[in-house]
Amino acid sequence: MKTTIDNAQRVFLFTGENSKVFCNLHDVPNALKSFDNLDEVQMFEFWNFRLKKLSKKSLNVLFEGNQMKNRIV
């Protein structure tokens, strides 16, 4: 998957199955489609020069806060 990163927004990192994907919030659904098993994917966010591990629940809160209709189950 090829993405363009906007450093003025939050940057997310998804790792799993020998691959890594960096993206912004609006590209998260497409990034997750590149993985076969979502249970093995680890989600991280870069914010204020720090790496923070995310849960599915916190990612869904970010979607709701940005008025996006995406949900991670």
**Does residue 31 lie in a domain region?**
yes
**Does residue 34 lie in a domain region?**
yes
User: Residue 1 pLDDT more than 70?
Assistant: no
What pLDDT is stored for residue 47 in this prediction? 80
Give me the number of domains the chain comprises. Answer: 1
- Indicate the average pLDDT of the chain: 87
Structural domain range at position 34: 11-65
Exposed, middle or buried: residue 21 (CB in 10 Å: 0-12, 13-18, 19+)? Answer: buried
Please give the share of the chain, as a percent, with pLDDT higher than 90. Answer: 30
**Does residue 3 lie in a domain region?**
no
Residue 10 per-residue DSSP state: -
Phi, psi of 36 (to 5 degrees): -80, -45
**Does residue 51 lie in a domain region?**
yes
Going by C-beta distance under 8 Å and a sequence separation of 6 or more, which residues neighbour residue 4? none
User: Residue 73 pLDDT more than 80?
Assistant: no
Please give the share of the chain, as a percent, with pLDDT higher than 70. Answer: 99
